[in-house]
Structure 1
Amino acid sequence: MNLLEINGLTQNFGGLCALSDFSIRFEGGELTGLIGPNGAGKTTVFNLTSGFYRPSGGDIRFKGRSIVGLRPHQITGMGIARTFQNIRLWNDMTVLDNIRISQHYSMGYALWDALMRTVAYGRGEQRIHRTAMEILEALDLRRYATELPRNLPYGIQRKVEIARALSVKPSLLLLDEPAAGLNSADIQGLIQLIQWIHDTFDVAIWMIEHQMAVVMKLCSWIKVIDFGVTIAEGTPDEIQNNPDVIKAYLGDDTI
């Protein structure tokens, strides 16, 4: 059984076709890239996979089950976590609380338990706190646990967002342009971090990225879309030398 299987995925917004007949398959453990020019439909693919959009056509199956129509928190609970192109941290909460709140779907107690501070509530909160501290420790973020994200450097905020996604213990991690806004030094650190996460955690990684150095360094397989249509897929070497990819990125005069 495949970890993720997408078949014939299509998304229309009014009269605009943002994505057409998109298909991909993950067996588990891959580190795969999804690239294309601005407006190609890449984030639309992630929004469909994570339940923020409902597709106009096609199917998305995760661990053998169709997830079309499920809400984002239900999909997260099944094992798909994601980050966003524009960082979405709760800036009025500490870094620790950002990690803790991401686990609300599996808190293990009811509203009554929280109101009455029952044993179930205490155990659930202890487990959530322990998991949050473990992930902060693993990603060398423990020193920032009591800080507000808005007071942290941009590169650390990116790292916190990835930590929050990892805290739900996903089987598939979607990274939407993790290098966006980072300087060259931070990008090198990000490459090392993503490789370490892939090697350390039992998680498949699917990433959108405009920084080709990041994609070519990390990904063993890359899929390319343009205007919502798949134009190529293959290894990094195959993609770099594909004339359709070169044309999509650089224009007709380059080939």
Structure 2
Amino acid sequence: MPLLEIHELTQYFGGLCAVSDFSVALESGELVGLIGPNGAGKTTVFNLVSGFYKPTQGKIIFKGSSIAGLKPHEITGRGIARTFQNIRLWNHMTVLENICVSQHYNMGYSLMDALLRTKRYLKQEKRIVTEAMNILEALDLARYADEVPPNLPYGLQRKVEIARALSIKPSLLLLDEPAAGLNSADVKDLISLIQRIHREFDITIWMIEHQMTVVMTLCSRLKVIDFGATIADGTPDEIQNNPDVIKAYLGDDAI
């Protein structure tokens, strides 16, 4: 059984069809890319999978159960984490606090426990901090634990966002344009980081990315959409030579 199955997913915003009959299956352990020109509907697909939108029609099956229409925190609790095209860190919190706060769905204590600082509260808080530090150490970010994100270079902020997503121990990680805004050196580091995460965390990764070097290096297969519809599906070599893909990116004159 695939880890994630999407069948004929369609999303309308008023009279605009943002995604049309989108289908895909991701096996456990895969690293798959979702690409297409700007406005193709890629982030809409991720928003549907992660619960920010309720699909107009279609099925989203994760680990054998439907998640279409569930709220984001419910989907997170089932094992799907994501990052965003625009970094969404809490700038008034430290890096460590950014990682810890992602455990809100799995705190293991009540509001009353927190107010009274019970043994349960203290035990669970210690666990959360320990697990957060383990994630930071695994991604070579422990030295920045007490820094606030605005004090860090942009590339490190990207790593912190990925660390926060990993802290929930997901089975599926959605990366929405992780290389956006990075310079060439940071992109190279990002590729190495994603390869290490994929290998060491034994996780399935589905990523949106515009930088072809990133997806061609990392992904075993690619799905291409344009104007909300799938136009190609295959290996990186097959995709880069596909005339429909070339046309979508470069126009009719490129064919």
Instruction: Give the shorter-chain TM-score range.
Output: over 0.9
**RMSD of Structure 2 on Structure 1 (CA):** 0.5
Query: What amino acid sits opposite 1:50 in the alignment?
Result: S
Q: Shift of the alpha carbon at 1:118? A: 1.0
CA distance in 2, matches of 1:5, 1:147: 39
Once the two structures are superposed, residues 20-53 of structure 1 have per-residue CA deviations (whole angstroms, 9 ceiling, x without a partner) of 0001111210000000000000000000000000
Q: Give the aligned partner of residue 12 of structure 1.
A: 12
Q: Shift of the alpha carbon at 1:3? A: 0.9
1:118 pairs with 2:118: yes
Query: What amino acid sits opposite 1:156 in the alignment?
Result: L
Once the two structures are superposed, residues 115-139 of structure 1 have per-residue CA deviations (whole angstroms, 9 ceiling, x without a partner) of 1111111111011001100000000
Q: Give the aligned partner of residue 34 of structure 2.
A: 34
Q: Calculate the TM-score normalised by the size of structure 1.
A: 0.99
1:169 pairs with 2:169: yes
1:200 pairs with 2:200: yes
Q: Give the aligned partner of residue 147 of structure 2.
A: 147
Please show how residues 87-126 of structure 1 align to structure 2 within 5 Å. 87-126=87-126
Q: Shift of the alpha carbon at 1:85? A: 0.2
Q: Shift of the alpha carbon at 1:156? A: 0.3
For residue 93 of structure 2, give the secondary structure of its aligned residue in structure 1: coil
For residue 143 of structure 1, give the secondary structure of its aligned residue in structure 2: helix
CA distance in 2, matches of 1:220, 1:22: 19
Q: Shift of the alpha carbon at 1:2? A: 1.9
CA distance in 2, matches of 1:7, 1:120: 43
Query: What amino acid sits opposite 1:29 in the alignment?
Result: G
Once the two structures are superposed, residues 125-178 of structure 1 have per-residue CA deviations (whole angstroms, 9 ceiling, x without a partner) of 011001100000000000100000011100000000000000000000000000
Q: Give the aligned partner of residue 178 of structure 1.
A: 178
For residue 102 of structure 1, give the secondary structure of its aligned residue in structure 2: helix
CA distance in 1, matches of 2:164, 2:50: 15
Query: What amino acid sits opposite 1:125 in the alignment?
Result: E
For residue 8 of structure 2, give the secondary structure of its aligned residue in structure 1: strand
Query: What amino acid sits opposite 2:134 in the alignment?
Result: E
1:83 pairs with 2:83: yes
Runs of 4+ in structure 1 off by over 2 angstroms are: none
Once the two structures are superposed, residues 44-102 of structure 1 have per-residue CA deviations (whole angstroms, 9 ceiling, x without a partner) of 00000000000000010111110112110110110000000000000000000000000
Please show how residues 59-78 of structure 1 align to structure 2 within 5 Å. 59-78=59-78
Q: Extract unaligned runs of 5+ from structure 1.
A: none
For residue 17 of structure 2, give the secondary structure of its aligned residue in structure 1: strand
CA distance in 2, matches of 1:234, 1:243: 13
Query: What amino acid sits opposite 1:159 in the alignment?
Result: K
